[in-house]
Structure 1
Amino acid sequence: MYLNCHTYYSLRYGTFSELELLQLAKEHGVTQLALTDINNTSACLNFVRKAPEYDIRPILGIDFRNGVEPCFVGIAKNNEGFLELNDFLSEHIHQEKKIPEIAPKFEHVYVIYPFEKVLQNEKKSFDEHEFIGVSVNELKRLRFSKLLQQREKIILLQPVTFRNKRDFNAHRLLRAIAKNTLLSKLSVTEQADEDEKMYAIPNLAAHFSEHNFILENTQKLMNACSIHFDFSAGRKPQNLSTYLGSKKEDEVFLEKLCQEGLPYRYPEVDKAVLNRLEKELYLIKKMGFVSYFLINWDIISYARKQKFFYVGRGSGANSIVAYLLFITDVDPMELDLYFERFINLYRVNPPDFDIDFSHRDRPVMTEYIFNRFKNVALLGTYVTFQSRGVIRELGKVFGLPKDEIDLLCDGAIQAGRLDNISALVLKYTQLLHGMPNYLSIHAGGILITEKPIHWFSATNMPPKGFPTTQFDMVIAEDVGLYKFDILAQRGLSKIKETLDILERDRPKEFAKFDIHDIKAFKKDPKINNMVKMAQCMGCFYVESPAMRMLLKKLEVDTYLGLVAASSIIRPGVSKSGMMREYILRHRNKGRAEELAHPVMLEIMPETYGVMVYQEDVIKVAHHFADLDLGEADVLRRGMSGKFRSREEFQKVQDKFMDNCRKKGYDEKLINEVWDQVASFAGYAFAKGHSASYAVESYQSLFLRAYYPLEYMVAVLNNGGGFYKPEFYVHEARMLGATIHPPCINNSNADNKIYGKHLYLGLGYLRELEQRVMERILKERTLNGYFMSLEDFLDRLIISIEQISILIRIDAFRFTETNKHELLWKAHLFLNKTKKIDHPKLFTPRHQHFEIPSLYSTNLEVAFTQLELLGFSLCSPFELLATPPLHTTGSKDLELYLNKNIDIYGYLITVKRTRTHTGKAMFFATLLDQQGQVFDTVLFPPEAARYMFRGRGVYRFYGKVVSEFGFLSIEVIKLQKQDFVQDPRYADMKTSAKVFDQKKLNNQEGKIEVRE
């Protein structure tokens, strides 16, 4: 009987989920129900999927409104009607058009006009598919209306938005948030009627006892509606079913592409390769995944033609077909990649391909996909209300001052001291928490479907300019829609820009190598030694302190070792305690035979019986616990967090335990193995995925090894990496570069390398306006270098504030004029000269100004750089108020092993973590006075006493320890060192004298060293 039901996907209006709506309906004896969210279809597919579990027959529709003003309700007679509704809604969303008050002529849709709208519009005639909707409250007005004469057109339209008073209160708060107004000022017209609730069927019949024909009309309409989507286990994929037009053509073409790729990938083809290829092709065809592979091939083929750099990863990287099609650069034969992780007969969804592009190239690739294929959309995802955000929103709605809102967000007010308003904020925060707030875009998911996208949902048009589904990836998979992941990654941008720099500046060097020749890189001793010594700064996935530590502990010096390390570093392995166990077994080969269960060692000999990769979950479930491959994959997917419900996962877990007991395993062993399985919880990599990461790491390492300065410039120009830009500038200096501050003649917006001279980009100047920078670069490109300050000011319109930034950073140093003098000149020039924005016929004559002799100190330059760039180009140790008492550094750690050391370090990064008891501790990475890196740890007692207070130089006293050969300092005490006072705001002569004397002492080696 209910044709107008809302969930919380009626954004900032509805108050409960589609499952709660179904539960509510079941409790009220409802057997069929229409979901009609306001201008939204997000909940529709899951509503249809779950309705049978509540013994309810689902009907779909849309409540079309302009804001909260109702226009009409569209009810789909069938799937074609749902398509019509989605087409209509999407058109109005995309073009930002108002919904018309009169519906168009739909073919498979019933249109219901609310009683009040019919009265307002005085609509008198109704087509066969059009009806008048009356709610319980409107029934008494109907008795006195002429509309009662149109008995066959009147149906029940009782909105369902609330279950109880609390829902109504939540609704009012959501409306106030939506309108950005105080709750006390929320207009009644912006709210729903409190009576928009569900009545039990007997109560509804009682209300309409005098107008039974209304219920009969409603029943007749509902019975004529039917919607079906296949959510069964054996459902067929809904992706584009063929690539060339027929399955046979697709299969022949896929085989042809594989044969073409064989000579390049395997110059000497053996039987194992052919057997693996035959097995994969058989299953790919049988499972109906041929078009999925060919579409991915099409995408990367276009990228290759454009010379775009990319990496293919995901479970599909376990496939030899993907390797032969150049979707990935991972050789599954070399790595013995587990076939069943990639594909098995129980698998419903196709293998996962994540294709990473440079963040500059991905938009081009996305546009290509939308132009190349017919039914394409980005995959949506919902941003939900989270606690802190809800507290802020509700605090504003209730009129709390910002200070009180901040305290509530930080949890700084005890529950007993809360006033009534603050208590209400926290109460309703719990209610709104987790509700959808607005639709966003999945990180990289694109759908390419056989049927029109609007067969499944309406689409939004976000700022990116591509249609986006109103549902997420979980329900997409449930209905048989499998995404293509087209992702952006800055690591690839760094590689691509390095190649661009080499092609432009060093074409002979560029011609010497193939960046895809991974086999050669794997054998390169220079690269492998860099991995072993953890000299990986700036390199993809291997530069973080944790990864450098692991590489040293494992003594990794091979590609296969790096593949393992890439997955071992993930939280799943480390959380289970198996990272440490893996290191122990790696360093002591006899330990695995002694401690590992024989079955576990037999399953995973390469990783010493330790679960490291996602497919190890499948192997252990299948071989250790005798689950079939389908059940094992359920376990693996359950760990990945992609399950909407954990019921199926729980059944498989119970069977895992029961099977192990039947096989006679000890209960302690069963629990230990299960704990390892459970700890993965979505964090482990598939081995092929790890291998893809390792390929990219080796490509990065190759460039860093042989073209270090070009590579470091590319790192800086593409957002850096784990560390701040300052550190990569330092690294470039350590690699032999001379670093220059921004220059109006030699700098671009980004950093630029000339031989061994690195010019920082104008983009580093925080306060320099984008339009000013663009104007400078455009003028320089069109009319050549600037010859003097006067020449610059003649050619450009610029404010005194903006020219001052350039002068202060010494961007006019080619003039060999002191910057104080240049500032005077600029002030006098801009005050005396009237700028005219048109080409000059003659070179202007300038008045000569007498300016006194001025000078700049090194200290003043350092602090100006610190202000304008965010870092200075001199050593931070030169800025200390008290010079370091000694030069102890990273090189001395071995000498102090198991002894206490006194050392100074410039802070690079700090990681704050907690012990299993919840106590805070710190891991910090620093630079010593020689520019080398060292690592420290503050355990909870020290972490409670000492805090890192931002960047700067710290003095540490602590014990040097070694764990598996990795040296670090367990800090006993630390003290932040003061910088000398900024001379621009102090007595310049005194500060400058201290600074210059310190420099002199350093040059003469007059530094006191304390033993």
Structure 2
Amino acid sequence: MYLNCHSYYSLRYGTIAPKQLLAIASANGVNTLALTDINNTSASLDFVRLSEKYNIKPVLGVDFRNGAQQQFVLLAKNNNGFKNINSYLSTFLHDDTLKIPETAPELNDTFVIYPYKNGVNYNLRHNEFLGIKPQDLNALKFSKWNKLQHKLVILKTVSFQNKKGFNMHRLLRAIDNNTLLSKLSKNEEGQPNDTMLPYNELCDTYNEFPQLIKNTKSVLEGCQIEFDFSQETPNNQKSYTKTEASDFELLKKLTYEGLPYRYKTPNNIIHERIKKELNIIKEKGFVSYFLINWRILEYARSKGYYHVGRGSGANSIVAYLLKITDVDPVELDLYFERFINLYRKNPPDFDIDFSWTDRDDVTNFIFKTFKNTALLTVYNTFKFKAAVRELGKVFGLPKTEIDKLTRGKYQLQNLDKLSQLVIKYSEYIQGFPNYLGIHASGIIISEKPIHYYTATFLPPKGYATTHFDMVVAEDIGLYKFDILSQRGLGKIKDAVEIVTYNHPEQVPIDIHDIKRFKQDERIKYLLKNAKAIGCFYVESPAMRMLLKKLQVDNYLGLVAASSIIRPGVAKSGMMREYILRYRYPERIKKAHPVLLKIMPETYGVMVYQEDVIKVAHIYGGLTLGEADKLRRGMSGKFRSREEFLQVKQLFFNNCKQKGEAEATTQDIWRQIESFAGYAFAKGHSASYAVESYQSLFLKAYFPLEYMVATINNFGGFYNTELYVHEARMHQGIIEAPCINQSFNQTIIKGKTIVLGFMFLHALEQKTISKILSDRQKNGIFKSLDHFIERVPISIEQISILIKINAFRFTGINKRELLWEAHLKISKTVIKDHVITLFKTQRINYKTPQLSSSGLENAFDEMELLGFPLCNPFHLLQNPTNNPLRATHLITLENKTITIEGYLVTVKNTRTANGKTMHFGTFLDYDGNFIDTVHFPPIASKYPFRGKGIYSITGKIIVEFDCVTIEVSAMERSAIIEDPRYAVNSVNKTFQNKKSFATHKANQLSPMSPKSI
């Protein structure tokens, strides 16, 4: 009887979760329910999937509205009707200039319901009805439609559960309209009684109009929607070629064609694995999935794009032979059943990384090549702090009060009533969907049109995007293709090109020669000594310390390290146990014998996702099908689902029947649970390690070129400053941007690195383009005048270039150049120079003799680049005479010391009881790393106060040859007063009163001739 129900996917309007809506309907004796969210179909498929549990027949539709103004409701008679509704809705969501009309179009297999408006003439088609709300019943008695009741239905809107839900609704409407709650128009609200009545009570409300009840039942009976959630066969594009048979022949052909490239002398193990994989891929219907991935990468290779294929698909020899991945599953003994087995319903994951500069072109290729393609959405939900901020504005709280609430600096009982309401309702709407975003990488390619499943919207990227997320997509058998971007591949590609131009004598680098890299002694040295700054996945402080503890110098060791660094393994204590067993082999004897037998390579410690599957299957007695449910559960997406909980109970029951000690079973399950949301498949880790080896090779042999590539790709884990520092540590000569040498990006000539224009804060791209275009056309600039004559530029923009010393080739001090620029460049709007017959004669002004010091340059660099190009320790107000350095610390175990460090990065985390603590990374005077730990009492007492040099006091802790300082006190050291504005410095520069007075005037109005 309910034709117009909203979930909270009626964004910033509805307040009921889809599951809750079904529960409410079931409790009210409703056995058929229409979900008609406002201009949205996000909840539709999940609503159908969940309805069976509540014994409710689902009906799908859309409530078409302009803002809060309801135009009409469309209901789908069947799946084709739902497709038609989705297509129609998508036309408006793809073009926000279009308004939804008052009259619905003729769409096959749909019902149309218009909200009744007294006095309006309706010309209803056979499938169209007027919806009569309870408040319309009295007016209906006196309307002509009382005699035309065969075209009338019940329109009882449901948007919220109760009064609290209505209050939330009003707040959401105020947020949506960006207005105070007190100023929210009633036209933007629903009715307070838009709640669900028990079935019998609703019928009693309309008992004077039995025809309406009959019509409504007839409409609902005329709707039948069905989707298959069994996942028995994928709903992805079924065939890459014309038929599934020819698909398999192509896959088989490509697989065997790839053998000579990967294996010189393939043995029986390889041939048997190929045969086994091909048969299961065919049986499970995943052939086109492999071929589409292959085609995407064929295109990428044709364009010279680098890629890394990872995910569970990296366990596949077919993927290896098709060059989807670079991981040899035979060499690594990758667990076949993690990649694919007969019980697995979804295809293996292929996460394909491209350079951030290439990904958009690859995405464009996919959309042009494959017919039914869309990006996946993500639901951006209200986070508590964001909700507090939004509701604070709605209630009209001042900004200072809102800031206090978002920081949590309050006692609830001490807040005023409005602030308490903000906190109360922020907790209520926390987790509500706020707006639809784009999944970081997910693309679906469907056999059926996308609108068969969902409406689509068009975000700024310009690609159709679904209303449902990856979890719902997987439920319905639409398995995503993950096309990601990362800067690591951009660094590798650029570094190879930079080596080519900076070392023309160098033999071309084969960056894919991973087998040679695995044996390289220089790479082994970098790994073992954790000298991997800039290298993919191995440069973070945590990874750097782990490599030191393990002293890894081989590929398999790095693969394991890539996985045990993950939060689940680390928090469960398994990372420490792995290190202990790696460093002290005698400790391996303490491992559980069954676990040691299952995982000899990792000393009986669960490190990879497949380890969990093996343990569940062999130790816990689960079938491979049950273990696959466990694998899905480990992703964190399905942990609330009953199937996962059932597998957990089965694990414990099986272990009890086998006679395993309950304490041991509990501990092993605790380890299994720690993997949820964080687990890596071994092939996935191996793929990461391949890219790590590529970057390590470049770092080992071409460190300066690799650092330039890292800088140009905006770094990695750290910011640009550290990579500039790393280049200097490898004898690089770092220079500020230069008018005659610099390009947009940083360049290298020999060992000299000249920073690019794009690193200058506030220097506009159009200015950079003008400089480079003119220099390419007319050659280098010979003077400031020469530059001004050729490049139209504002005084603000040329000041940036002068301050960074980009005109140093002139030999004139930059302070004098600033005077010249202010005298010679007008403050009016700059237009392009017009070429005239006669050259304009410039007046040569006499400028005062000025000078600038290296310290002044450093402060200009900090202002314009974000960091100085000198040693930051030279900027201390009180220069340190402390001789202690990072290299000395290992000899001072358990001693309390004081050392100065330049802050690089801070990792904030929380203890088990929720208190804040920090891990700090600093550089000492010589440029070597200092690592610190700040436990909660110290973190609270001695907080970080931004960038700078800190005096650190603490106890030296040495664990597995890795040194950290357990901080007991910390204070940021003062730097010198900015010499550009310091009176003492100015007095030295200006020896007479007149020039000093002029200088002070210029500080107030920066070097403007009019102020002189």
> Does residue 481 of the first structure (1) align with residue 478 of the second (2)?
yes
Q: For 1:199-278, what aligned pairs fall within 5 Å after superposition?
A: 199-232=197-230, 234-278=231-275
State the Cα distance separating 1:212 from its structure 2 match: 0.8
- Given residue 83 of structure 1, which amino acid in structure 2 is its aligned partner? K
Give distance in 2, aligned partners of 1:42 and 1:575: 35
Match in the other structure for 1:950: 946
> Does residue 410 of the first structure (1) align with residue 411 of the second (2)?
no
Which of 853, 861, 866 is residue 865 of structure 1 equivalent to? 861
> Does residue 775 of the first structure (1) align with residue 776 of the second (2)?
no
Match in the other structure for 1:753: 748
State the Cα distance separating 1:918 from its structure 2 match: 4.2
Give distance in 1, aligned partners of 2:936 and 2:210: 74
> Does residue 568 of the first structure (1) align with residue 559 of the second (2)?
no
Cα distance change, pair 718–190 in 1 and its aligned pair in 2 (3 A)? same
Match in the other structure for 1:904: 900
Match in the other structure for 1:646: 641
**What is the TM-score of this pair, normalised by structure 2?**
0.95
State the Cα distance separating 1:835 from its structure 2 match: 6.9
Give distance in 2, aligned partners of 1:91 and 1:405: 39
Given that residues 373 and 445 in structure 2 are in contact (C-alpha distance below 8 angstroms), is that contact kept between their aligned partners in structure 1? yes
Match in the other structure for 2:163: 165
Given that residues 795 and 827 in structure 2 are in contact (C-alpha distance below 8 angstroms), is that contact kept between their aligned partners in structure 1? no
Given that residues 584 and 591 in structure 1 are in contact (C-alpha distance below 8 angstroms), is that contact kept between their aligned partners in structure 2? yes
Cα distance change, pair 436–661 in 1 and its aligned pair in 2 (3 A)? same
Cα distance change, pair 31–989 in 1 and its aligned pair in 2 (3 A)? closer
Superposed CA deviations along residues 737-771 of structure 1, whole A, max 9, x for unmatched, are: 11111111211222111221111111222122232
Give distance in 2, aligned partners of 1:15 and 1:957: 53
Give distance in 1, aligned partners of 2:895 and 2:389: 51
- SS of 2:825's partner is helix
Cα distance change, pair 832–13 in 1 and its aligned pair in 2 (3 A)? closer
Cα distance change, pair 918–5 in 1 and its aligned pair in 2 (3 A)? closer
Given that residues 33 and 59 in structure 2 are in contact (C-alpha distance below 8 angstroms), is that contact kept between their aligned partners in structure 1? yes
Given that residues 742 and 811 in structure 1 are in contact (C-alpha distance below 8 angstroms), is that contact kept between their aligned partners in structure 2? yes
- SS of 1:497's partner is helix
Q: For 1:661-672, what aligned pairs fall within 5 Å after superposition?
A: 661-672=656-667
Q: For 1:13-92, what aligned pairs fall within 5 Å after superposition?
A: 13-92=13-92
State the Cα distance separating 1:991 from its structure 2 match: 10
Give distance in 1, aligned partners of 2:224 and 2:504: 66
> Does residue 611 of the first structure (1) align with residue 609 of the second (2)?
no
> Does residue 345 of the first structure (1) align with residue 334 of the second (2)?
no
Cα distance change, pair 394–947 in 1 and its aligned pair in 2 (3 A)? closer
Which of 365, 384, 387 is residue 384 of structure 2 equivalent to? 387
Given that residues 356 and 487 in structure 1 are in contact (C-alpha distance below 8 angstroms), is that contact kept between their aligned partners in structure 2? yes
Superposed CA deviations along residues 811-859 of structure 1, whole A, max 9, x for unmatched, are: 1001111111111111111259997732243433222222232211111
Superposed CA deviations along residues 754-799 of structure 1, whole A, max 9, x for unmatched, are: 2211111112221222322222222223322222111111122222
State the Cα distance separating 1:201 from its structure 2 match: 2.0
Match in the other structure for 2:298: 301
Cα distance change, pair 256–554 in 1 and its aligned pair in 2 (3 A)? same
Q: For 1:834-913, what aligned pairs fall within 5 Å after superposition?
A: 837-913=833-909
- SS of 2:265's partner is coil
Cα distance change, pair 968–843 in 1 and its aligned pair in 2 (3 A)? same
Given that residues 330 and 692 in structure 1 are in contact (C-alpha distance below 8 angstroms), is that contact kept between their aligned partners in structure 2? yes
Which of 981, 987, 991 is residue 985 of structure 1 equivalent to? 981
Q: For 1:589-600, what aligned pairs fall within 5 Å after superposition?
A: 589-593=585-589, 595-600=590-595
Given that residues 233 and 284 in structure 2 are in contact (C-alpha distance below 8 angstroms), is that contact kept between their aligned partners in structure 1? no
Give distance in 1, aligned partners of 2:146 and 2:564: 73
State the Cα distance separating 1:225 from its structure 2 match: 1.1
- SS of 1:36's partner is strand
Superposed CA deviations along residues 495-529 of structure 1, whole A, max 9, x for unmatched, are: 121123234444552x4321111111111111111
Given that residues 859 and 983 in structure 1 are in contact (C-alpha distance below 8 angstroms), is that contact kept between their aligned partners in structure 2? yes
- SS of 2:209's partner is helix
Match in the other structure for 1:1003: none
State the Cα distance separating 1:641 from its structure 2 match: 0.6
- SS of 1:203's partner is helix
Match in the other structure for 2:995: none
Superposed CA deviations along residues 311-351 of structure 1, whole A, max 9, x for unmatched, are: 00001011001000000001101111111111111111100
Q: For 1:140-155, what aligned pairs fall within 5 Å after superposition?
A: 140-155=138-153
Match in the other structure for 1:997: none
Q: For 1:540-689, what aligned pairs fall within 5 Å after superposition?
A: 540-593=536-589, 595-643=590-638, 645-689=640-684
- SS of 1:377's partner is strand
Give distance in 2, aligned partners of 1:299 and 1:986: 60
- Given residue 45 of structure 2, which amino acid in structure 1 is its aligned partner? L
Give distance in 2, aligned partners of 1:992 and 1:900: 43
The more displaced of 951-960 and 107-116 is 951-960
Superposed CA deviations along residues 178-234 of structure 1, whole A, max 9, x for unmatched, are: 1111111111111112222222222222222221111111111211111000012x5
Give distance in 2, aligned partners of 1:970 and 1:461: 51
- Given residue 848 of structure 2, which amino acid in structure 1 is its aligned partner? P
Given that residues 309 and 324 in structure 2 are in contact (C-alpha distance below 8 angstroms), is that contact kept between their aligned partners in structure 1? yes
Given that residues 639 and 678 in structure 1 are in contact (C-alpha distance below 8 angstroms), is that contact kept between their aligned partners in structure 2? yes
Given that residues 948 and 973 in structure 2 are in contact (C-alpha distance below 8 angstroms), is that contact kept between their aligned partners in structure 1? yes
- Given residue 722 of structure 1, which amino acid in structure 2 is its aligned partner? F
Superposed CA deviations along residues 51-91 of structure 1, whole A, max 9, x for unmatched, are: 11111111111111111112111111100000110111101
State the Cα distance separating 1:623 from its structure 2 match: 0.4
Match in the other structure for 2:798: 803
State the Cα distance separating 1:445 from its structure 2 match: 0.2
Give distance in 2, aligned partners of 1:654 and 1:983: 70
- SS of 2:848's partner is coil
Match in the other structure for 1:288: 285
Given that residues 442 and 483 in structure 2 are in contact (C-alpha distance below 8 angstroms), is that contact kept between their aligned partners in structure 1? yes
Which of 512, 519, 522 is residue 515 of structure 2 equivalent to? 519
The more displaced of 944-953 and 754-763 is 944-953
Given that residues 790 and 833 in structure 2 are in contact (C-alpha distance below 8 angstroms), is that contact kept between their aligned partners in structure 1? no
> Does residue 704 of the first structure (1) align with residue 688 of the second (2)?
no
State the Cα distance separating 1:942 from its structure 2 match: 3.9
State the Cα distance separating 1:378 from its structure 2 match: 0.2
Match in the other structure for 1:714: 709
Match in the other structure for 1:975: 971
Cα distance change, pair 915–171 in 1 and its aligned pair in 2 (3 A)? closer
State the Cα distance separating 1:724 from its structure 2 match: 1.8
Gaps of 5+ in 2: 990-1012
> Does residue 12 of the first structure (1) align with residue 7 of the second (2)?
no
State the Cα distance separating 1:973 from its structure 2 match: 3.5
Which of 158, 180, 183 is residue 182 of structure 1 equivalent to? 180
Give distance in 2, aligned partners of 1:7 and 1:260: 53
Superposed CA deviations along residues 227-251 of structure 1, whole A, max 9, x for unmatched, are: 000012x532110011101111011
Cα distance change, pair 897–217 in 1 and its aligned pair in 2 (3 A)? closer
Give distance in 2, aligned partners of 1:942 and 1:98: 58
- Given residue 94 of structure 1, which amino acid in structure 2 is its aligned partner? H
State the Cα distance separating 1:909 from its structure 2 match: 1.6
Match in the other structure for 2:993: none
- Given residue 707 of structure 2, which amino acid in structure 1 is its aligned partner? M
Match in the other structure for 1:128: 126
Superposed CA deviations along residues 3-58 of structure 1, whole A, max 9, x for unmatched, are: 11111111111111111111111111111111111111111101111111111111
Give distance in 1, aligned partners of 2:537 and 2:182: 52
Given that residues 474 and 644 in structure 1 are in contact (C-alpha distance below 8 angstroms), is that contact kept between their aligned partners in structure 2? no
Give distance in 2, aligned partners of 1:940 and 1:74: 57
Given that residues 9 and 37 in structure 1 are in contact (C-alpha distance below 8 angstroms), is that contact kept between their aligned partners in structure 2? yes
Given that residues 983 and 991 in structure 1 are in contact (C-alpha distance below 8 angstroms), is that contact kept between their aligned partners in structure 2? no
The more displaced of 446-455 and 710-719 is 710-719
Given that residues 884 and 899 in structure 2 are in contact (C-alpha distance below 8 angstroms), is that contact kept between their aligned partners in structure 1? yes
The more displaced of 304-313 and 877-886 is 877-886
Match in the other structure for 2:102: 101
- SS of 1:893's partner is helix
Match in the other structure for 2:453: 456
- The percentage of counterpart residues that share the same residue type is 56
Given that residues 495 and 706 in structure 2 are in contact (C-alpha distance below 8 angstroms), is that contact kept between their aligned partners in structure 1? yes
Give distance in 2, aligned partners of 1:752 and 1:942: 43
Give distance in 2, aligned partners of 1:944 and 1:422: 27
- SS of 1:210's partner is coil
